[in-house]
């Protein structure tokens, strides 16, 4: 039975810990978070009893695997502060960091990067989530691959340089797309319509991507090069920043759709 410690209790940690807890021969023995309430909540979800702490000094140093599922900007600092045994396997889940952040005192290390958006209140099926694996040694890579393949049907070996571009693509496909949904909901506040009227449109947009390239799926005023509609819509937007964003994106779409296919 492999003893596992989760360092972190945020969105990624919540989803990943609940998935790992269901694997055979895996036992999560502790959850760390700087918020004791967050650590306790995650521990309760995985039947980990009272195995939650909010002090680095209290982290179990004798586990077999340590998952560092925390924010990218604090990841290097936290890894340095967590004292573990040298034989343990140390994994982070970040898209924007390589293996160098583990230093020399954690020789067995790797990456298990789930390419998905996570929210604590939603339960996801990890079987459908692409997982990207990197490790320093072949031995550690095999160990991580074994875990990853128990979690997901889509497992890829991927180095840090490629993962940076994957992460950037994810920001565009998910984070920026959702930012557009936020603005769409704000615009609908000028009407009496619920934001749910957008959902069929969003679903069809996503569904088309499974059968055609995004450029081929592009529609709307900019794709038609309808500058009169674009000008009228810009005038409807309240925020100067959003006016600029609308115009810049429209200009980009016009440029893309003007190129010969």
Q: pLDDT per residue over 129-188, tens digit each? A: 999 999 999 999 999 999 999 999 999 999 999 999 999 999 999 999 999 999 999 999
Domain that holds residue 37: 2-158
pLDDT-derived band at 261, boundaries 50, 70, 90 = low
Asked if 88 and 104 sit in the same domain, the reply is yes
Same domain (yes/no): 137, 198: no
The pLDDT of residue 260: 78
Query: What is the arithmetic mean of pLDDT over 210-215?
Result: 97
Tell me, yes or no, whether 114 and 127 share the same domain: yes
**133 with 167, same domain?**
no
Structural domain count of the chain: 2
pLDDT at 135: 98
Please check whether residues 144 and 36 belong to one and the same domain: yes
Look at residues 106, 127, 158 and tell me which one is the last residue of a structural domain.
158
Q: Which of 138, 158, 178 is the last residue of a domain?
A: 158
> Above pLDDT 90, what percent of the chain?
97
- Provide, rounded to the nearest whole percent, the portion of the chain with pLDDT above 70: 100
| pTM (predicted TM-score) | 0.94
pLDDT tens across 6-16, in order? 999 999 999 99
pLDDT digits (tens, 9 = 90+) for 78-99: 999 999 999 999 999 999 999 9
Which are the contacts of 218, defined by CB distance < 8 A and separation ≥ 6?
253, 256, 257
| CATH, residue 86 | 3.40.50.720
Give yes or no: residues 26 and 154 share one domain. Answer: yes
The burial class, CB within 10 Å (0-12 / 13-18 / 19+), for 183 is: middle
Residues 188 and 133 in one domain: no
Give the domain-ending residue among 158, 182, 213: 158
| Residues 147 and 52 placed together within one structural domain of the fold | yes
Same-domain status, 117 and 168: no
Residues 139 and 228 occupy one common structural domain: no
């Amino acid at each position: 039975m492999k003893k596992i410690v989760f360092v972190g209790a945020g969105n990624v940690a919540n989803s990943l810990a609940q998935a790992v807890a269901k694997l055979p021969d895996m036992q999560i023995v502790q959850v760390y978070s700087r918020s004791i309430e967050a650590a306790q909540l995650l521990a309760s979800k995985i039947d980990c009893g009272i195995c939650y702490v909010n002090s680095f000094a209290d982290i179990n140093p004798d586990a077999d695997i340590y998952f560092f599922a925390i924010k990218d900007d604090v990841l290097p600092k936290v890894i340095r502060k967590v004292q573990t045994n040298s034989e343990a396997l140390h994994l982070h889940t970040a898209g924007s960091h390589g293996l160098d952040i583990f230093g020399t005192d954690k020789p067995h290390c790797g990456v298990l990067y789930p390419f998905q958006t996570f929210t604590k209140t939603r339960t996801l099926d990890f079987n459908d989530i692409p997982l990207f694996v990197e490790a320093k040694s072949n031995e550690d890579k095999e160990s991580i691959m074994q875990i990853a393949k128990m979690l997901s049907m889509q497992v890829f070996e991927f180095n840090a340089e490629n993962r940076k571009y994957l992460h950037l693509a994810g920001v565009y496909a998910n984070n920026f797309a959702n930012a557009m949904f936020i603005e769409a909901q704000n615009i609908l506040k000028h009407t009496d319509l619920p934001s749910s009227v957008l959902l069929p449109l969003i679903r069809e947009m996503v569904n088309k991507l499974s059968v055609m390239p995004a450029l081929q799926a592009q529609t709307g005023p900019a794709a038609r090069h309808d500058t009169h509609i674009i000008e009228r819509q810009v005038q409807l937007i309240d925020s100067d920043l959003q006016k600029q964003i609308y115009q810049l994106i429209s200009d980009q779409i016009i440029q893309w759709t003007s190129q010969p296919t």
